[in-house]
Amino acid sequence: MAGLSLDLLALQIFTGLALGAVYVLLATGMSLIFGMLTVVNFAHGAFFALGAYVGALVLAMGGNFWLALFCVPVATGIAGMAVEWGLVRHLYGRGIDDPLLLTFGLSYVLVEMIRIVAGTQGLPFDTPDALAKAVDIGIGYFPLYRLFVIAVTAAILLALWLFLERTRIGLIIRAGARDPEIMRVLGVDTGRIWRLVFGLGTAIAGLAGLLAAPLQGVSPEMGNAILADAFVVTVVGGMGSLAGAIVAGLVVGVIVSLTALFAPEAGDVAIFALMAVVLLIRPQGFFGRAGLMS
Amino acid sequence: MPDRTDRRIGRRGWLRGAAALAAGAPFASAPFATLRAEEPPIRVGFPVPVTGPYATEAADQVRAAQLAIAEFNESGGMGGRRAELLVRDDKLDPGEAATRAIELIEKDRVDFIVGSLSASVQLAVNTVTKQRGILYNSISQSDQIVSSPDWGPTSFHEAMTPHMTATAVGRYAFGKFGKRIAYVAADYAYGHEMVAGFRAVGAGIGAEELAEIKMPIGTRDFSPLMPRLEALRPDILFLCNFGRDQQVFVKQAQESGLKRMTHIVAPILLQTARIAGGAQAFEGVLGGTSYYWGIERDVASAKAFNDRFRKAYDGRLPSDYGALGYSGVRSVLSAAVKAGSTATEKVASALAGMKYDFYKGPQYYRACDHQSVQSVFIIESKANGRVPEDVFNVLETVPGQEDLLKTCAQEGLG
Residues B151 and B57 in one domain: yes
Segment among A28-37, B30-39, B190-199 with least mean pLDDT: B30-39
Interaxial angle between packed helices A190-216 and A222-237, expressed in degrees from 0 to 180 and rounded to the nearest 10 = 120
Chain B interface includes A251 (CB < 8 A): no
Stretch among A112-116, A180-184, B153-157 having the lowest mean pLDDT: A180-184
Q: In the prediction, which pLDDT does B37 show? A: 52
Residue of higher predicted confidence among B286 and A4: B286
Q: Tens digits of per-residue pLDDT, B319-363?
A: 999 999 999 999 999 999 999 999 999 999 999 999 999 999 999
Selected residue of B9, B217, B220 to mutate for chain A interface (largest A Cβ count, 10 A): B220
Mean pLDDT of chain B: 90
- Total domains present in chain A: 1
Judged by a CB distance cut-off of 8 A, whether residue A115 touches chain B is yes
- B130-144 average pLDDT score: 95
Q: What angle do CA A234, A240, A243 make, to 5 degrees?
A: 75
The top-scoring range by mean pLDDT among A172-181, A221-230, B24-33, B336-345 is B336-345
Which amino acid type is present at position B252? Q
At residue B8, the pLDDT reads: 43
Q: Which residues 148-187 of A are in CB contact (within 8 Å) with B?
A: none
Nearest-CA distance A185 → chain B (Å): 43
Within-domain flag for B414 = no
Cα B124 from chain centroid? 16
Query: Are B131 and B70 found together in one domain?
Result: yes
Alpha-carbon distance of B47 to B113, in angstroms, equals: 8
Q: CB-based contact (8 Å) between A19 and chain B?
A: yes
pLDDT of residue A239: 85
* pLDDT tens digits, B67-84: 999 999 999 999 889 999
- pLDDT reported for residue B4: 38
Check pLDDT > 70 for residue A98: yes
Residue B121 lies in a domain: yes
CA–CA separation, B315 and A49 (whole Å): 30
Residue A253: inside a domain: no
B311 touches chain A (CB under 8 A): no
pLDDT at B12: 52
One domain for residues B200 and B244: yes
In chain B, positions 8-37, which contact chain A (CB-CB < 8 Å)? 8-9, 12
Check whether B36 has a pLDDT greater than 80: no
Nearest-CA distance A262 → chain B (Å): 10
Average pLDDT over residues B94-123: 95
**B409 within some domain:** no
Per-residue model confidence (pLDDT) at position B16: 54
Q: Whose CA is closest to A205, among A225, A230, A177? A: A230
User: What CA–CA distance (Å, rounded) separates B4 from B9?
Assistant: 9
Q: Looking at the complex, does the CB of residue B248 fall below 8 Å from at least one CB of chain A? A: yes
Reported as a pLDDT band with limits 50, 70 and 90, residue A1 is: low
Average pLDDT over residues A126-144: 87
Residue B340 domain-assigned? Answer: yes
pTM over 0.90: no
- A contacts of B254 (beta carbons < 8 Å): 127, 132
CB-count burial class (<10 Å; 0-12, 13-18, 19+) for A35: buried
Q: Does residue A7 register a pLDDT over 90?
A: no
Please give the pLDDT value at position A177.
78
Please give the Cα distance from A204 to A51 (Å, whole number). 9
Confidence of residue B364 (pLDDT cuts 50, 70, 90): very high
Does this complex have an ipTM over 0.90? no
Residues B38 and B156 in one domain: yes
Q: Give percent of chain A above pLDDT 70.
A: 97
- Is the Cβ–Cβ distance between B88 and B104 less than 8 Å? yes
- Per-residue pLDDT, A3: 59
Q: What is the pLDDT of residue B151?
A: 96
Task: Give pLDDT, residue B9.
Answer: 42
Average pLDDT of the residues in B367-377: 96
pLDDT in the model for residue A2: 52
Whether residues A124 and B5 touch (CB distance < 8 A) is answered with: no
B394 — pLDDT class (breaks 50, 70, 90): very high
Nearest to A260 among B59, B224, B275 (CB): B224
Does the structure show a pLDDT above 50 at B30?
A: no
Secondary structure of residue B152 in the 3-state scheme? coil
For the segment B199-226, the average pLDDT, to the nearest whole number, is 91
Residues B10 and B130 in one domain: yes
pLDDT at B13 exceeding the cut of 70 = no
Same domain, B309 and B245: no
Domain shared by B251 and B400, yes or no: yes
State the number of CA atoms in the 13 A half-sphere of B63 facing the CB. 25
Spatial distance between the Cα atoms of B2 and B7, rounded to a whole number of angstroms: 9
Number of domains chain B is built from: 2
pLDDT at B306 over 80: yes
A126, A225, A258: residue with CB nearest B2: A225
Q: Does position B14 have pLDDT exceeding 60, yes or no?
A: no
Counted across chains A and B, CB pairs separated by less than 8 A come out at: 139
Lowest model confidence (mean pLDDT) among A106-120, A177-191, B40-54, B194-208: A177-191
Average pLDDT of the segment spanning B174-188? 94
Question: Residue B145: which pLDDT band, with cuts at 50, 70 and 90?
Answer: very high
The residue-averaged pLDDT of A249-262 equals 93
In a domain, A101, yes or no: yes
Write down the H helix ranges in B35-145: 55-74, 94-106, 119-132
What domain range is A185 assigned to? 22-221
Same domain, B84 and B6: yes
CA dihedral A82, A84, A88, A91 (to 10 degrees): -120
DSSP 3-state of B376: strand
Answer yes or no: do B275 and B306 share one domain: no
CB distance from A216 to chain B under 8 Å? yes
Please compute the mean of the pLDDT values over residues A45-71 and round it to a whole number. 95
Q: What's residue B84's pLDDT?
A: 96
Q: Does residue A14 sit within a domain?
A: no
Averaged pLDDT, A246-274: 91
- Evaluate whether residue A280 is within a structural domain: no
A215 contacts B251? CB cut-off 8 A:
yes
Residue B278's domain comprises 163-289+376-404
Q: Which of residues 219-248 of A touch B (CB under 8 A)?
A: 219, 221-222, 224-228
Asked if residue B278 lies in contact with residue B267, where contact means CB atoms within 8 angstroms, the answer is no
Q: Who among B59, B252, B257 is closest to A141 (CB)?
A: B257
- Residue B15, pLDDT > 70, answer no
Mark whether B347 and B224 lie in a shared domain: no
Residues B383 and B353 in one domain: no
pLDDT tens per residue, range A146-176: 999 999 999 999 999 999 999 998 998 888 8
Residue A258 lies inside a defined structural domain of this protein = no
Note whether residue A226 is domain-resident. no
Best interface-test mutation with B: which of A106, A120, A150 has the largest number of B CBs within 10 A? A120
- Looking at every residue in chain A, the average pLDDT score rounds to 90
The pLDDT of residue A251 is 95
Q: Which of residues 332-391 of B touch A (CB under 8 A)?
A: none
Spell out which residues of chain A touch residue B227, defining contact as CB-CB under 8 Å: 8, 11-12, 15, 140, 261
- Residues ≥6 apart with Cβ < 8 Å to A77: A199, A200, A202, A203, A206
CATH number of B31's domain: 3.40.50.2300
Query: Could you tell me if residue B364 is inside a domain?
Result: yes
Task: Residue B285: list chain A partners with CB under 8 A.
Answer: none
Mind telling me how many Å the CA of B291 is from chain A's nearest CA? Answer: 19
Name which of A126, A219, A267 is nearest B219 (Cβ-Cβ): A267
| Chain B, window 250-289: residues with a beta carbon less than 8 angstroms from a chain A beta carbon | 251-252, 254-257, 272, 275-281
pLDDT at A289 over 90: no
Candidates B214, B221, B230: best to mutate against A (most CBs of A within 10 A) is B221
Residues 198-217 of B with CB under 8 A from A: 213-216
B147 and B40 belong to one structural domain: yes
* C-alpha distances in Å from residue A248, one per residue of A20, A229, B80, B158: 8, 11, 68, 49
Q: Name the minimum distance, in Å, from the CA of A124 to any CA of chain B.
A: 5
Residues of B in contact with A132 (CB under 8 A): 254-255, 280
Q: Is a pLDDT exceeding 90 seen at residue B61?
A: yes
Work out the percent of chain B whose per-residue pLDDT is above 90: 77
In chain B, residues with a C-beta closer than 8 Å to the C-beta of A258 are: 224
B contact test, residue of A121, A129, A147 with most B CBs within 10 A:
A121
